[in-house]
Amino acid sequence: MTSHLKYFALLLLPLIAGCDMQDMYRQPKREPLSPSTMFNDGMSARPAVADTVARGQLRTNAVFFTGKLNGKDVEVIPLPVTKELLLRGQERFNIYCSPCHDRTGGGNGIVVQRGIRPPPSFHDPKLRAMPIGHFYDVMSNGFGAMQDYAAQVTPEDRWAIAAYIRALQYSEYAPAADVPAAELPKLKEAGK
């Protein structure tokens, strides 16, 4: 008879545990942003307190986070331009930008080849004359048909991409005087 009691107890255990779980499931609660009569404004959630900053989101360096100073695009990248920064910029550019702009910045990426309106070439004189902050701002806020990439690309990576865009632009129009003397024969050979 004791074995029957053990089996009976094992059968009752899930039912007893299930009762508490059902009570938790059916407890009174509000879905986010659902209407409620609890507050005068009819909302169930309270608005954020003015000037509240989420942890890790304090952005006191306006130039770094906007690419602007006194409302104008900055001319200089607000962090040191290193080889590592340029390599990171190249990597991020190839991931996020090259589908439209292609890997050279010419504006003939794979999506353009499939019928999407081409973006302007970074080698266009008008874009070569733009301040570096312009490219950061466009990545942050979008421009024309281009969406913003603020959610996908961190501010640090946006500056890295902007630096790499400048390197691409320079590579197309670099004067021969900037080529090391040991490399000049290779350049002349390639030009034939």
Structure tokens belonging to residue 104: 């050279």
Closest CA to 168 of 127, 138, 123, 125: 123
Per-residue model confidence (pLDDT) at position 191:
66
Per-residue model confidence (pLDDT) at position 45:
80
DSSP label at residue 73: E
Per-residue model confidence (pLDDT) at position 23:
67
Per-residue model confidence (pLDDT) at position 73:
96
C-alpha distance from residue 142 to each of 38, 46, 147, 150, 175 (Å):
40, 31, 5, 9, 32
* 105 close to 121: Cβ distance less than 8 angstroms: yes
Q: How far apart are the first and last CA of the chain?
A: 100
Could you report the average pLDDT of every consecutive run of 10 residues in the chain (192 residues)? Answer: 69 62 70 81 83 83 94 96 97 97 95 92 96 97 93 97 96 82 80 62
Determine the distance from the C-alpha atom of residue 40 to the mean position of all C-alpha atoms in its chain, rounded to a whole number.
Answer: 38
C-alpha distance from residue 81 to each of 34, 61, 156, 178 (Å):
48, 18, 12, 18
- Given the structure tokens 């938790």, which residue do they identify? 24
Per-residue model confidence (pLDDT) at position 12:
66
Closest CA to 167 of 125, 112, 113, 105: 105
